[in-house]
Amino acid sequence: MSGKLIVARHSESEWNLKGVWTGITNVSLTEKGHADAKKIGEILRDLKFDKIYTSQLKRANETRDDLLATYGKTDADQRRTAAINERDYGDYTGMNKWEVEKTVGEEAFTDIRRAFDAPIPNGETLRDVSERVVPWYREIVLPQLLSDKNILIVAHGNSDRALRKYLENVSDEGVKELEMDFDKVYIYEVANDGRATSTEMRQIETDKSHKY
């Protein structure tokens, strides 16, 4: 049995609310995002964190800070790493998602958002994201889990999807169906190879009327 790996996504950001691709742009959480992040802290109070990793982007770090505000005092070591930054959306950064969908069509739009190898001009594929997330996880995080440490990761929709693809042994095609919602947190125990041996999902109550 390993320590627990807790995987969370940052809460709603200003650009999520606008419906535009954010990527590596530094934006803050919305008022709703701050409130939801605090709810995540509440549902994780029973878990002890030995280390906390966030990306280098503001919205992930704001989520961590709000989460800890309700979680309570922790002596967990806190680190930031570019390895779990969001996918670089290249030329699509700042563009309205739903306007792009009208331009390229539903099938191509779904591939851009969800497929493993869908290219973006001057940006990253999900495979590119995976090729930085998974080696970091195996080299840095996995040895700590196997030493019975509990690790919290607060990252992004695509960096979390890349990590969960590996943990849950999801195929390249199957990753299209793998979602990482704002309101869900995933808790894993892992084997020596870093794959999940158990998975628990926890969910906060939030308004889900907005289309992301």
- For the stretch 6-31, pLDDT in tens is 999 999 999 999 999 999 999 999 99
pTM assigned to the model: 0.96
Average pLDDT over residues 75-82: 97
- In order, the DSSP letters of 61-104 are HHHHHHHHHHH-----EEEE-GGGPPP--GGGTT-BHHHHHHHH
Task: Name the percent of the chain lying above pLDDT 90.
Answer: 96
Given a cut of 90, whether residue 210 has pLDDT beyond it is no
Give domain limits for the chain: 5-86+126-203
Q: What's the pLDDT at 1?
A: 80
Residues assigned a catalytic role? 10, 86
- DSSP category for residue 203: E
Chain centroid to Cα 100, Å, comes to 23
**Matching CATH number, 5-86+126-203, of 3.50.50.100, 3.40.50.1240, 3.40.50.300, 1.10.10.10:** 3.40.50.1240
Do residues 115 and 127 touch, judged by C-beta distance below 8 A? no
Confidence of residue 119 (pLDDT cuts 50, 70, 90): very high
Decide: helix, strand or coil at residue 145.
Answer: helix
Instruction: Specify whether the CB–CB gap between 188 and 1 falls below 8 A.
Output: no
